[in-house]
Amino acid sequence: MTLEIRNLHAVIKATDQEILSGIDLTIPNGEIHAIMGPNGTGKSTLAQTIMGYPAYQITAGTIRFDGQDVLQRSVDQRAKLGLFLGMQYPAEISGVNNADFLRAAMHATTPDNPISVLEFMQQLENNMNYLEMDDEIAERYLNVGFSGGEKKRNEILQMMMLQPKLAILDEIDSGLDIDALKVVAKGINHLRSEKFSSLLITHYERLLEYVVPDVVHIMVAGKIVKSGGPQLAQQLEQTGYHKFEVTREFS
């Protein structure tokens, strides 16, 4: 279940502006990687491109997951392959009940293995308890009026219910208080196994203290400029991105 991205270039369809300028990234099965980088550098764009967001156009490169050509597939087919994206800004959808939506999603991703209503309710309750979420969240319209923290927990809840093979979590830690951050980290660690890999996009080293990554990548201006172990994140905390921006100009 390795994710392999080779020389990925992507532009914004509307403006033709290039955001991703040759990304190379491999996430082997069972590993957790983190991407850090300054604002506007293309981290969310990378996450959305992997998932198939229609505003971006791939101009070069490949994405493979488990040997399959990801770019040939529609968004929902990518989810069915086992990809999951916890979004930086999850959509609010009025009129769609959170629990109904989850059930529809589970049904869609595991059509051969339909889960009974009772099983579903039990799993939902267990996971919500695990994430210390209010019961009423399940019956509310999807993300509508959720606080920032509730939205993020709801993304993690979906991840736990859908059990993807690779979860890309885009700033899952932003806007969370310390307790919530621990809860979310607990959720991610709960899935951690040799069958699960994850890509964490974050600005803060703190998340990476709770979910210790195997590899940390630094992304600047649409490229990965450096990769290293967890200590790279600590180092960044001290130095900031300036050094990498300069390095890149000369390289």
Which residues of the shown chain bind ligand ATP in the complex (CB under 6 A)?
12, 19, 37, 39-45, 55, 88
Find the shortest distance in angstroms from Cβ 38 to Mg ion. 10
Asked if 166 is part of the footprint of another protein (rule: CB under 8 A), the reply reads no
Beta strands, E only, 98-245? 141-142, 166-170, 197-201, 215-220, 223-228
40 binds, among ligand ATP, Mg ion, another protein, none (CB under 5 to 8 A by kind): ligand ATP
Q: Return the range that interacts with Mg ion (CB under 5 A); candidates 64-72, 83-91, 176-184, 229-237.
A: 83-91
The residue within the footprint of another protein, chosen from 120, 141, 204, 210 (CB under 8 A), is 141
Q: How many helices (H) and strands (E) does the chain have?
A: 9, 12
Q: Binders of another protein: how many residues, by CB under 8 A?
A: 27
The DSSP secondary-structure symbol of 192 reads: -
Is 13 exposed, middle or buried, given 0-12, 13-18 or 19+ CB atoms closer than 10 A? exposed
Find the shortest distance in angstroms from Cβ 35 to Mg ion. 10
- Using CB under 8 A as the binding rule, the residues of this chain from 45 to 84 that contact another protein are 51-54, 74-76, 78-80, 84
In degrees and rounded to multiples of 5, residue 202 shows phi and psi of -150, 160
Neighbours of 156 (CB within 10 A): 26
The per-residue b/e assignment along 108-122, b for 16 or more CB within 10 angstroms, e otherwise, is: ebeeeeeeeeeebee
Q: Which C-beta is closer to ligand ATP: that of 55 or that of 91? A: 55
- Using CB under 5 A as the binding rule, the residues of this chain from 38 to 57 that contact Mg ion are 43-44
Strand partners, 142: 93
Q: Which residues contact another protein (rule: CB under 8 A)?
A: 51-54, 74-76, 78-80, 84-85, 87, 90-91, 93-96, 101, 104-105, 108-109, 141, 158, 162
